[in-house]
Amino acid sequence: MAIQLFLPESLSHLSKTDLAGQRKKYQEASDTISRSNRPAKLRISMNRRSFLKVGMGFSALACVGGYGVFRLITKPNISLWGHSFFGNNQTFSAKLIEETGCRVFNFGLSGATSESIALRNGAYFINYAPADGVINPAIKNPLTPNVPGPLSLWRNASADWFHLPCKIAGQSGVLDWDGKTVTFTGYHGSTAAFLKEPVPLYVYPMTTVATANVTGHTIYPEHPESIYLLWLGRNNSTQPEEIMRDAKAIVGRMTKGNNRFVILPEFPGDYEPKGTKGAEEIALINSSYKEAFPENYCEIDGIDLLQNFLNHHNPQSQQDLADIKAGLTPSSLRLDELHPSITKKDGALYAGTEVNAEFVAKFLKYKGWV
């Protein structure tokens, strides 16, 4: 069993005198626990290796003046930031958890553009002001500029099914976009806010989809410390410069020194065979990903996530063979014209989401992150 020593952030600002007082409190508490739980006779049975491990652990404590906290070294958390390839299913995360043993926080949102993902991630902010100069509580307040911002979806579609928890001008509430008007509704009990100039909108870092070990609507502000899986550009594939801007902003949002992120290539739809403009756009995005993030692009020994998906076609399926020839993902692994299948279909050898999750887990292990 591994242990790690750390100084709690809440104590990092204390002076030497303060630390001495805190150390005394820890010692008194420790003594009390020790007295109340001390058995009449203590029999210790451990081999030499275990004895040395325990000895080194207490030596480490001594090196920090007898002050410290034990914490088990656990597996890292994984955060999923992306579009419907994360947002429309729970099988990808379930397989990822099975393969890695990590806690997985899913921030995926179906239809989301790279801008939506970046704004919800907190990579940068958008400024809004009430259209009439005042935000009244408990009613929908139209905002200016009248743009969806963090609710930006494919083809500017309505997001009336999703109410985004956020805060503006000190008021907590939800942001809505019905395809025509962006509004903010403050929670009951808040007071009116008068604004002459636009101010930043802060999006609460709340998961959108439950996973096997993290419930939906979980607030996770520490996500920049986790491993990021990024699937960003499928819904604004005609804007490669915007996608790359957002990818770099999200990576820059991560905790300093944390370079554990994975850029996942975009998949073509069955309406984007070789030679079409759509196929060229997807190829450009993926090559841009690889060029900008060569160490973090999801590829092992020259095989990236997309090629691995193609390699899992059913060789006995004439439709799959035709798809591969046309540069498309195999029908047997697709739910529809684009999305990976959530369960194994008739005539398929695998479920598409699980094929992807297994390869991502393999990449994470290859990098030594899990």
pLDDT at 56: 36
Task: Please give the Cα distance from 233 to 113 (Å, whole number).
Answer: 6
pLDDT 10s digits, 41-93: 333 333 434 433 333 333 333 333 333 333 456 899 999 999 999 999 999 99
- pLDDT (average), residues 259-280: 98
Q: Tokens for 342, please give them.
A: 């959530």
Task: Please give the Cα distance from 202 to 125 (Å, whole number).
Answer: 7
- pLDDT (average), residues 185-206: 94
Say if residue 368's pLDDT is above 50: yes
pLDDT at 73: 60
pLDDT at 250: 98
pLDDT 10s digits, 280-292: 999 999 999 999 9
For the stretch 53-66, what's the b/e string if a residue is b when 16 or more beta carbons lie within 10 angstroms of its beta carbon? eeeeeeeeeeeeee
Q: Report residue 135's pLDDT band, with 50, 70 and 90 as the boundaries.
A: very high
pLDDT at 16: 35
Task: Please give the Cα distance from 351 to 343 (Å, whole number).
Answer: 5
pLDDT 10s digits, 38-51: 333 333 333 434 43
Q: Tokens for 75, please give them.
A: 């597996």
Q: Which CATH architecture has domain 78-122+205-367?
A: 3-Layer(aba) Sandwich (3.40)
Say if residue 27's pLDDT is above 90: no
- pLDDT (average), residues 254-272: 98
Residue with structure tokens 């790279």? 114
Say if residue 140's pLDDT is above 60: yes
Mean pLDDT in the chain?
85
Instruction: Name the residue type at position 47.
Output: N
Is 349 within 8 Å of 317 (Cβ atoms)? no
**DSSP-H helix ranges across the chain:** 16-36, 48-63, 84-87, 91-100, 114-121, 240-253, 277-292, 305-311, 318-325, 352-367
pLDDT at 153: 98
Other CB atoms within 10 A of residue 329 CB: 24
Is 135 within 8 Å of 195 (Cβ atoms)? yes
Say if residue 191's pLDDT is above 60: yes
pLDDT 10s digits, 324-358: 999 999 999 999 999 999 999 999 999 999 999 99
Report how far apart the first and last C-alpha atoms of the chain are (Å, whole number): 16
Is 67 within 8 Å of 5 (Cβ atoms)? no
CA dihedral 301, 281, 107, 161 (to 10 degrees): -150
Is 350 within 8 Å of 338 (Cβ atoms)? no
Q: Report residue 19's pLDDT band, with 50, 70 and 90 as the boundaries.
A: very low
pLDDT at 189: 86
Q: 3-class SS at 51?
A: helix
